[in-house]
Amino acid sequence: MAKLIDISPLDKVVQYDDEPAKLYRIEIRDLSRGLCGALFLALPLHYTMEMWSRARSIPPYLMLSIILVGYLLNVGYCYYSNFKDKPARQSPWWDALESIGIGLFASAATLFLTDQLTYQMSWSVIISCIAITSVPTGFGASLAKSQLSAGGDRDLTKGWSQDKKKLIACLLGGIMFAFNVGATQEPTVISTSINAWQIIGLILFSLFVSYLMVFMTDFETQKDDEGTILGPEWAEMTICYSVSLIASAALLFMFGYLSGDTPFNLSATWVVVLGYATTLGGSAGRLVI
Q: What is the pLDDT of residues 202-223, one digit of tens each?
A: 999 999 888 887 776 555 545 4
Strand partners of residue 13: 22
Task: Look up residue 35 and give its amino acid.
Answer: L
- In one letter, which amino acid is 156? L
d(CA 255, CA 270): 13
Rounded to two decimals, the pTM is 0.74
Q: List Cβ<8 Å contacts ≥24 apart for 115-122.
A: 115/190, 115/193, 115/194, 115/195, 115/198, 116/46, 116/52, 116/190
SS3 content of the chain, % helix, strand, coil (to 5): 70, 5, 30
Compute the distance between CA of residue 13 and CA of residue 10 in angstroms, rounded to an integer.
Answer: 8
Is residue 28 a contact partner of residue 10, using CB atoms and an 8 Å limit?
no
Question: Which helix H or strand E contains 218, and what residues bound it?
Answer: none
Residues 6+ apart with CB under 8 A from 266: 191
pLDDT at residue 276, as a whole number:
92
User: For the chain, which residues make up each domain, given as ranges?
Assistant: 16-147, 162-288
Phi (first) and psi of residue 283, to 5 degrees? -65, -45
Evaluate whether 132 touches 54 at the Cβ level (below 8 Å). Answer: yes
- Tell me, what's the pLDDT at 102? 92
Q: Which amino acid is at 206?
A: S
Residue type, 226: E
Q: What is the pLDDT averaged over residues 117-145? A: 87
| pLDDT tens, position by position, 227-249 | 455 566 777 888 889 999 999 99
23-46 helix and 264-288 helix, angle to the nearest 10 degrees: 130
Return the DSSP state at 153.
S
Q: What distances in angstroms separate CA 83 from CA 10, 151, 286, one per listed residue?
A: 18, 17, 19
Which range is least confidently modeled, 55-64, 75-84, 89-98, 216-225?
A: 216-225
Question: Cα dist. 17→40, 117, 139 in Å?
Answer: 26, 42, 27
The more confident residue out of 206 and 178 is: 206
